[in-house]
């Protein structure tokens, strides 16, 4: 796993949602007790939050609400983090 700045992680997440290419992005805190997993397939975007909230939500790829939900989850799970781990 690679540790990157929080701002770079948000940019990576936004790029992934904008291109809608199939893939997976896992972001973890330094203690690895909270995570946000973003999985994009051909038809849907799945957002999994583990930590403060344990929720799995699914959105269609064409709807822009997935981007807003991912940003809200990101702020909720990493409120005071400066560095996050990127996993696969």
Instruction: Look up the pTM and report it.
Output: 0.86
The answer for residues whose C-beta is within 8 angstroms of residue 54's C-beta and 6 or more apart is none
| Banded pLDDT at 64 (limits 50, 70, 90) | confident
Residue 11 has pLDDT above 80, yes or no: yes
Q: Around 66, how many Cα atoms within 13 Å sit in the side-chain half-sphere?
A: 27
What pLDDT is recorded for position 40?
A: 92
Share of the chain above pLDDT 90, in %: 48
| Banded pLDDT at 83 (limits 50, 70, 90) | very high
* Across 19-23, 48-52, 55-59, least confident range: 19-23
């Amino acid at each position: 796993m690679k540790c990157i700045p929080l701002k770079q992680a948000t940019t990576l997440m936004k790029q992934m949602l904008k291109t809608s290419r199939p893939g997976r992005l896992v972001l973890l805190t330094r203690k690895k007790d909270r995570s946000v997993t973003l999985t994009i397939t051909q038809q849907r975007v799945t957002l999994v939050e583990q930590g403060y909230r344990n929720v799995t939500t699914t959105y269609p790829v064409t709807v822009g609400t997935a981007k807003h939900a991912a940003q809200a989850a990101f702020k909720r799970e990493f409120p005071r983090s400066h560095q996050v781990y990127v996993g696969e």
